[in-house]
Amino acid sequence: MKTLLKNARILTMDDHFTEYPSGWLLTEGGTIAALGEGTAPEADEMIDCGGGILLPGFVNLHCHASMIPFRTMGDDCPDRLRRFLFPLEQEAWTKELTYLGARFAMAEMLLAGITTVADMYYYEEEVARACVEAGMRGYLGETVICQRAPGSDTPEEALALSEALLQKYAGHKWIRPILAPHGTTTVSAEILQKCQALAEKYDTLLTLHACEMDDEMRAFSERGMTPISYLDSLGLCGPRLLAVHCIHLTEEDISLLARRGARIAHCPGSNTKAGKGVSPMRDAAEAGIPFGFGTDGASSGNTLSLFDQMRLFAVCQKTKYHDRRLFPARDIVRAATRGGAEALGMQNSGALIPGYRADMALVGTDRPSLFPLYDPYSALVYGACAADVRLVMTDGVVRVRDGKLTQMDITTIRRELEKALPPFRAAAEKYAASLRGE
């Protein structure tokens, strides 16, 4: 089937940042067949884009999609991970909540123009199920951690689940299994190396939290190391590594990551909300490290929207370095689209180019805050929001039309998740009460 999108302001995100101010784009068989301006070719279906901005689908480089039930819970609690989240997960998290939370998250991300997500959590096969149903591309890893966790009592059990995921989804259209050890201080050296061995065996990525926490930095400082030099000493710091957060990178860390060909998933929303700091992304970018943006989970960043991440990235980096010229809006949009695709090693993705996958988002420009529109990149970074997304396609199939999901019912998804929440909420209230001293 051929679908023609016309009357669009097309941002191709190709090597030359080619734009078509009043363009058309033709999809066929899941890929982009042609695009340009002027006379458009015939098609089976025609979509009038109403002068909106058409760009590649956003790539969410780091998420815990299923954690929707944690949203707005304990947001201002210090040391929330160990005092609240870990205990609550161990007591009340279920496979059903993983699936229902992931379904909700996929719907939310599609509505925000996200077409690919890199995710790590527990019962990750349920996240894969939700991804496939939604028609989203998922780079998914079972969280491996050296403590009892949902679905596994030991890291060895989590590794077995990881390998099962790798085998089940080998060569899958929508799912690319990856390795996902939790972090530098929550996983032993031995288990980290086993994760790396599996990543090499199955030729895939490894992602983990690194250089994120103050206590993490102190622990390695006492050993005369940084988390990055530690990972390098174990053989993990290489082109398979997608390091998440990277708030406290040193100059030596940045040089090492660049030399080894590693990538960064930058999460400005969750980083700054937790008061952890602002990553030195100017220096990382100047060193040539591929990077993109992650929303983190709904408990950490609250919204699953890269519009929020783009805007926060801009203001945080310009403020950190006291330089308004840093990261022009065009470069920020690239990081949210093609940059994310490159960080995942995706082929034929992240740009609107003939032969590339037909994964794209249309952003309407009719809201007052987007008028007048001199610079479409600036409008996307500083003025637009998820509610402005009008149309989303993955593999040439319309998943969102006129701002509404075409193949999922968000009301039903929310209702089914709501029905499963009472035991989890009861457990959460118990922990919340203890934190309040009740």
Express each pLDDT in 408-428 by its tens digit: 999 999 999 999 999 999 888
Task: Give the domain range for residue 16.
Answer: 2-56+357-405
Residues 298 and 400 in one domain: no
Which of 106, 110, 62 has the alpha carbon at shortest distance from 343? 62
Write the CB contacts of 310 (distance below 8 Å, at least 6 apart in sequence): 293, 332, 333, 335, 336, 380, 381
Is 145 a member of any domain?
A: yes
Mode of pairing for the β-strands spanning 397-401 and 180-181: unpaired
DSSP calls for 176-221: EE-BEE-BTTTS-HHHHHHHHHHHHHTT--EEEEES--HHHHHHHH
Number of compact structural domains in the chain: 2
Residues 27 and 79 in one domain: no
Are 108 and 308 within 8 A, CB to CB? no
Residues 52 and 165 in one domain: no
Least confident of 19-28, 59-68, 296-305, 356-365: 296-305
CATH of the domain at 223: 3.20.20.140
Calculate mean pLDDT across residues 61-74: 91
pLDDT of residue 438: 47
CATH of the domain at 393: 2.30.40.10
- Pairwise pLDDT comparison (114 vs 429), residue with the higher score: 114
Residues 123 and 256 in one domain: yes
**Residue 206 to residue 179: CA distance in whole angstroms:** 5
Is 51 a member of any domain?
A: yes
Residues 364 and 279 in one domain: no
Are 248 and 209 within 8 A, CB to CB? no
φ and ψ at 176, to 5 degrees? -120, 105
Residues 16 and 139 in one domain: no
Residues 113 and 27 in one domain: no
Q: What is the pLDDT of residues 138-186, one digit of tens each?
A: 999 999 999 999 999 999 999 999 999 999 999 999 999 999 999 999 9
Q: What is the pLDDT of residues 1-11, one digit of tens each?
A: 999 999 999 99
Residues 234 and 256 in one domain: yes
Which of 249, 295, 299 has the alpha carbon at shortest distance from 268? 295
Residues 400 and 339 in one domain: no
Residues 296 and 371 in one domain: no
Considering 290, 315, 343, which residue would you say is the last residue of a domain? 343
Considering 300, 316, 343, which residue would you say is the last residue of a domain? 343
Calculate mean pLDDT across residues 31-41: 96
Residues 217 and 334 in one domain: yes
Residue 88 has pLDDT above 90, yes or no: no
Residues 153 and 280 in one domain: yes
Least confident of 84-88, 288-292, 319-323, 360-364: 84-88
